């Protein structure tokens, strides 16, 4: 199954550096850990933490 996970990368003040949906493949009845790229080293340097939506949308 495939799911879209929403991730927001935030700076130290809580401002959004980047927000995106990332496709993750999950086996039936399974779980995965995904590494989501920020989008470039220049953006990554600004990121302090991220916020992930706890519910992913299943792709049809």
For the stretch 1-59, pLDDT in tens is: 999 999 999 999 999 999 999 999 999 899 999 898 898 888 899 999 999 988 887 88
pLDDT of amino acid 17: 95
Side-chain-facing half-sphere of 12: CA atoms under 13 Å? 2
Tokens of 38: 């920020």
pLDDT of amino acid 59: 81
pLDDT of amino acid 13: 96
Contact 17, 38 (CB under 8 A): yes
Q: Round the CA-based radius of gyration of the chain to a whole number and report it.
A: 13
């Amino acid at each position: 199954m495939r799911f879209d996970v929403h991730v927001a990368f935030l700076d130290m003040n809580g401002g959004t550096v980047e927000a995106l949906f990332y496709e993750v493949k999950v086996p039936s009845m399974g779980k995965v850990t995904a590494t989501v790229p920020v989008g470039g080293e220049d953006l990554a340097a600004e990121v302090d933490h991220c916020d992930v939506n706890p519910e992913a949308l299943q792709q049809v």
